[in-house]
Amino acid sequence: MAGPTDLTRAAYAGKETKLYANIGGTYASPTWVEITRARNVQRNRGPALSDIEFHGAEETGAVPGYRAMKGSFEYARMRGTDTVWAALEAARDAGDIVDLAHLNGPITSSASKGWRCPVLLGETSGSANGNDGVIDTIPFSKADCNLVSDGSAVNYVAFSGTDPE
């Protein structure tokens, strides 16, 4: 039985989202590779909140600081050769910038919306527990970076997929 034709689902599940890394391309002409074995993508975005203390007050108050973009994702490692894990590990160890995009659908669809940000990968932690897969948690933070062509800063941006030409 079909449901009402004038209703659409309002939310999407985490398994419907896609995480991509620009591997081998430039910022202007990216070569997106889907990180299919990623899960639990978390993004923290907003200002740092610092507590302020002053005489004459019984409680501290918060003041907004610099905005930040940080997060993490888990990666389920493959047995044998895993080229995506090798690329992520090499970038982490070399301190290379990784251009990430996280969308609510395929990057080849302009209907897909999300974010894009050049990041640095941090210290990973891995687990190998009983029946569970071997999982590495990979933290990331926005990289301090500029375009080589004109020196302009590259930051976190809202991002849409693109329909193939």
User: Cβ distance 14 to 43 under 8 Å?
Assistant: no
Structural domains of the chain, count:
1
Residue 21 corresponds to which amino acid?
A
Alpha-helix runs per DSSP H in the chain: 83-94
Q: Is residue 9 part of a domain?
A: no
Q: Is residue 5 part of a domain?
A: no
CB atoms within 10 A of CB 109: 16
Tell me: the pLDDT tens digits for 115-132? 999 999 999 998 887 777
pLDDT at 11: 67
pLDDT at 73: 96
**CATH (domain of 34):** 2.40.30
Q: Is residue 8 part of a domain?
A: no
The verdict on pTM exceeding 0.85 is no
Question: Structural domain of residue 76, as residue ranges?
Answer: 14-160
Tell me: the pLDDT tens digits for 130-143? 777 789 999 999 99
pLDDT at 165: 47
Q: What is the CA radius of gyration of the chain?
A: 19
Q: Is residue 165 part of a domain?
A: no
> Residue 29 has which token pair?
């002409």
Q: Is residue 113 part of a domain?
A: yes
Q: Is residue 107 part of a domain?
A: yes
Tell me: the pLDDT tens digits for 8-60? 777 667 778 999 999 889 999 999 999 999 999 999 998 888 888 888 888 88
List Cβ neighbours of 114 (8 Å cut-off, separation of 6 or more).
Answer: 17, 101, 102, 103, 104, 158, 159, 160
The beta strand positions in 4-91, using DSSP E, are 18-22, 32-34, 38-52, 61-76
Q: What is the chain's mean pLDDT, rounded?
A: 89
Q: Is residue 58 part of a domain?
A: yes
Q: Is residue 2 part of a domain?
A: no
